[in-house]
Structure 1
Amino acid sequence: MTSIPRFILGALTLCCAVSALAQPQVQTSDPNAPKTRAQVKQEFLQWRAAGYDPNDWLNYPENAQRASRIVAQRQASGDTSVH
């Protein structure tokens, strides 16, 4: 009688493992996909390296736009490293 619950437990475990493997993988190429915390941190570091200062409220729109252009140019050239 104890072999039936073990069989059921094994079948449920197998079903869970198969469904976990069947889940779609996150596509990083989709611009609408949510970003991970590591991706957000990396983008922030790229913006800081491009001259963006989040504490500069007096020049806020301009410094953010300038940093955005610089980061976009670096990404277009294939350079995603933080300088």
Structure 2
Amino acid sequence: MDTLSRVALGVLAAACCVASASALGQPYNPSSPLTRADVRADLAAWRAAGFDPLDWLHYPENAQRAAAIIAQRRASGAMPQPAQ
């Protein structure tokens, strides 16, 4: 292998490493994962706002309506903000 081939191989390997590192969707942030209790509390809030996950006949409407209610409650301070 001559020097030019080794340089080209090195550039190709570096390009592959950069491409694979930039292909990640979001960086891992260990301070933001939700706990099981957080997820359960969020589901309870959605159900209290009128969302039924088993009501697939009215799915987009009931989810949007519940999301608006939850956003309004969080904006008014009646509910805590989710951990992020």
User: Which residue of structure 1 aligns with residue 62 of structure 2?
Assistant: 63
User: Which residue of structure 2 aligns with residue 48 of structure 1?
Assistant: 47
Length, aligned pairs only: 51
The structure with more helix, counted as a fraction of residues: 2
Q: Deviations over 1:33-79 (max 9, x none)?
A: 22111111001000000000111100001101110110010000001
Q: Does 1:72 align with 2:71?
A: yes
Q: Percent identity?
A: 59
Equivalence map 1:1-83=2 (5 Å): 26=31, 33-80=32-79
Q: Which runs of 5+ in 2 are unaligned?
A: 1-29
Query: Aligned partner of 1:41: which letter?
Result: R
Question: 2:67 and 2:33 mapped to 1: Cα distance?
Answer: 19
Q: Which runs of 5+ in 1 are unaligned?
A: 1-24, 27-32
Structure 2 length-normalised TM: 0.56
Structure 1 length-normalised TM: 0.57
C-alpha RMSD of the superposition:
1.7
